[in-house]
Structure 1
Amino acid sequence: MIPLTRRRLLQAIAAAGTMPALHAGAQATYPGKPIRLIVPAAAGGATDIIGRLVAHQASLAWPQPMVVENVAGGGGVIGTQVVARASGDGHTLLMGAINHTINASLVGKLPYDSVKDFTFISHLVSIPNVLVVHPSLPVTTLAEFIQYARTHDTLVFASSGNGTSQHLSAEMFRMATGVKYQHVPYKGAAPATNDLLGGHVHLMFDNLPAAAPNIRAGKLRALAVTSARRNAAFPDLPAIAETVPGFDVRSWFGLMGPAGMPRPVVDKLHAEMVRIFTQPEVLRRIADMGAEAQVTDPAAFNAYVHQEMERWAKVVKASGATVQ
C-alpha cells in the first residue's frame, strides 16, 4: 500500500502534468459567450469612445461579440461596482479610467476595494488635459500665466466636477507653482466650457480632444498640455513639464475585470489588446483624438494603478475634495 503522503505527492505530480492542458483549454474555449464590456460613463465621452473601439475590433476577430454596456453614475462608481460583483470568468469586463484611481481616495465609502476586487489586464490609451484660457486674459505663454496667476487672486477656473481629472490637474498645478485661483465645479464639461467661452470664468484644464475644436477655431487660447511631452496633434503646444519639471497628468484608459480571472484568459485578452492597438487605422483614429496608445502587460498595469492611487491621494488630501 502506498503511504498517504507519497500518494498525495504522486497525485500532485499527476495534476501538475495536466495543468498546461487545462490552461490551454481555458484559453482556447474563451470566450464561450458574448462579453459585456461595462463603460462606467455616459455614451459619447472618451471612455465610451475607447470602449466601443475595443469592442468593435475584438468582435471582428473573435467568435463571440464584445458588447458595450453604458452604466453611468456616481463618477464611475456604479458601473465599476457591477464588474466588481461579476463572475471572474472573463465575460464581464470594465473599461477602466483615471477616475478609478481618483475615487479610491475621493469617495468616502466605496462599495468595492479598488485593488482587491479587480484584475488589471492592460493599460491601453492615455489622453492629456490642456490648460486653456479665455482670449481676454493677458497671457500668451505658460510662464506669463504663472507670473500673472501668482500676482492676481481673482482668477477662477472651471472643471467638469469636484474631484475630476480636470479639477485635480488644476490643484496639482497649483501645488507645483504657487499660483492663485478659485475653483468652480460644474455638472459636466459642456457647461464648464460654455462659461469659459463666455468669459464668465478665466481658465480650465480640459480634456484635449474636447478642447481641440475651440483651440483650432481661436475661441480659446491653449498654453500647454499636461502630459510629460508634447502631443502629436498639437506639436507647437509645449508641455507643462518644459516649465514645471516632472509635471505629468494624463487621463488613462485600461481594460479591467473582476478579481480571480484565470491567467490564460487574462493573457488572451492582453494579446488581443496588443493586436488591436498596433493596427494603423486604430492608431490613426486615436491620434486624431490627441490620444496615444500605451499598451502594457498586466503586471505593469497593476503597478501603474497603485502608483496613480498614491499620487492622487496626495492631491485629493491637499485640495480638500471629497464625495460622500
Structure 2
Amino acid sequence: MRQLARRSLLHALPVLALPAVASAQVSTASGWPSRPVRLIVPFAPGGPVEVPARFIAEHLGSRFGRPVLVEPKPGAGGAIGLQAMLAANDGHTFVVTTGSVAILPAIMRNPGYDPFADLVPVTLVSEVPLAFLARPDGKARSMQEVLQLAKAEPGKLTVGSSGTGSTTHLASELLKVRAGIDLLHVPYRGVAPAMNALYAGDIDIMVTGLIEGLRHVKDGRLLGLGVTSARRTPALPDVPAVAESVPGYDMSIWYAMFAPRGTPPKVVELLAQEVAPLARGTVLAQRLEESGGRLLLDGPAPLAALLREEVPKWKEVVQRAGLAEG
C-alpha cells in the first residue's frame, strides 16, 4: 500500500536548531533510560515524518544524556516499523508514525498489530489539514456546488488524488460517506501529476495537503473549495472548512508517538512531559503554523481519544470504498 503520509513542507525543512528550553539533564529514580533510546520511523529515509522525529530525538538526547537514535524502517504502509517496535518491547524503543496506524487495520487483513491492545499513546506530534481545490473556470467553484453537481449527476464529477489508498484519496471517500454523494475518483502517481491534471482540465477537483496547495490558492491560480479540518485555518482564513457544508467532516494528516504495550506508565509520562515544551516557540512550530498546521505535543490523552475516533471511522470509509484486502 502506498505510504499514507505525503510530501509536505516538513520534507524540505533543514535540521532545525532547538529553542532555548531547559537544558539540564533529567534524572529519574528508576535510572531510565539505561541505554540508547530508539525512535523508529516506519517510512523511507528523508520522508516528512523523519523531520519532527529527529527534532524530538535531538531534544531528548540532550535531556537524557544518552543517545536517542532515529531508525527508518519502511514497508507495508508503516506496518513493518510498528511490528519492529513491538518485537523489541525493551522499554527503550518507540515509534513516530502517521495516522496510518488507524487506517491499516481497516485495509490490511493482518497488519501485525492491534491499535488499541498493542500501542500505548505517548503524544500527538503534529497535524496538517488537506484541501479540496478547483480551477477558477471549472465546473465547481465552491463546496456547495460540488455537492449540488454530485447529487444531480452521481459519479460524473471527477476528483483527483495522489494515488489509490493515499490520504488524499481517503479524504474524498470520507466526503462521499459524510455527504452521501458519488464522485469519480481518478488516482495519479503523486501530487504533482494530479495538480497538472487539474490545471489541464482533465479532472474537475482534487485533494492535496494544505502545504502543497497553499501557494496555488494564495496566488489565485486555483480556488480553495474547503479545508478538511473541523474549522478554518489561519493560513487561508477565507477558505471555508468542508464541515461548514458537510457537518461532521473532519480529517487531517497527523503524526504521533507511540510506545509498545507493557511500557511503564512513568516512562510514557516522562517522554510526553519532556517533549511538550517544543510545541511553543520553536522553528518547527512556526513553520507548521504558517503552513496551516500545528505542532501539538499535548500528551497521551488527546492521542488516545483521536485513535478511538479514527479507527472505526476509517473502517467504515474503507469498507464502503472497497479498499480492504479481499
TM-score, with length taken from structure 1: 0.83
Deviates more, 1:312-321 or 1:49-58: 49-58
Residue number among 146, 155, 160 corresponding to 2:157 in the alignment? 155
Match of 2:93 in 1: 92
Aligned pairs, number? 299
Larger radius of gyration: 1
Match of 2:188 in 1: 186
Match of 1:14 in 2: none
Distance in 2 separating the partners of 1:138 and 1:51: 41
Q: Deviations over 1:22-80 (max 9, x none)?
A: x9522xx3333332222222345442333233223333433123332222222112222
Q: 1:98-247 alignment to 2 at 5 Å?
A: 98-152=99-153, 153-247=155-249
Distance in 2 separating the partners of 1:292 and 1:299: 17
Instruction: Give the fraction of aligned pairs with identical amino acids, expressed as a percent.
Output: 31
Residue number among 288, 304, 307 corresponding to 1:305 in the alignment? 307
Q: Deviations over 1:201-228 (max 9, x none)?
A: 2222211112223333444321110111
Residue number among 256, 259, 277 corresponding to 1:257 in the alignment? 259
Residue number among 271, 274, 277 corresponding to 1:275 in the alignment? 277
Mapped contact 2:158–2:183 kept (Cα < 8 A): yes
Distance in 1 separating the partners of 2:61 and 2:191: 31
Mapped contact 2:73–2:81 kept (Cα < 8 A): yes
Q: Deviations over 1:267-299 (max 9, x none)?
A: 110101212113344421221232113333324
Q: Secondary structure at 1:204's aligned position in 2?
A: strand
Pair 1:212–1:292, CA change in 2 (3 A): same
Distance in 2 separating the partners of 1:155 and 1:78: 37
Match of 2:17 in 1: none
Mapped contact 1:98–1:165 kept (Cα < 8 A): no
Distance in 2 separating the partners of 1:71 and 1:219: 38
Deviates more, 1:219-228 or 1:139-148: 139-148
Distance in 1 separating the partners of 2:277 and 2:95: 19
TM-score, with length taken from structure 2: 0.83
Pair 1:50–1:189, CA change in 2 (3 A): farther
Distance in 2 separating the partners of 1:49 and 1:323: 31
Distance in 2 separating the partners of 1:84 and 1:135: 49
Q: Secondary structure at 1:222's aligned position in 2?
A: strand
* Backbone CA RMSD of aligned residues: 2.3
Distance in 1 separating the partners of 2:199 and 2:71: 33
Match of 2:74 in 1: 72
Q: Secondary structure at 2:140's aligned position in 1?
A: coil
Deviates more, 1:242-251 or 1:33-42: 33-42
Distance in 1 separating the partners of 2:271 and 2:94: 10
Distance in 2 separating the partners of 1:190 and 1:108: 31
1:292 aligns with 2:294: yes
Bigger helix fraction: 1
Q: Secondary structure at 1:119's aligned position in 2?
A: strand
What letter corresponds to residue 267 of structure 1 in structure 2? E
Mapped contact 1:88–1:259 kept (Cα < 8 A): no
Q: Secondary structure at 1:121's aligned position in 2?
A: strand
Pair 1:56–1:222, CA change in 2 (3 A): farther
Distance in 2 separating the partners of 1:30 and 1:199: 58
The offset of 1:260, in angstroms, is: 0.9
List alignment gaps of at least 5 residues for structure 2: 1-26
Q: Deviations over 1:8-31 (max 9, x none)?
A: xxxxxxxxxxxxxxx9522xx333
Mapped contact 2:134–2:141 kept (Cα < 8 A): no
Pair 1:60–1:223, CA change in 2 (3 A): farther
Distance in 1 separating the partners of 2:198 and 2:75: 25
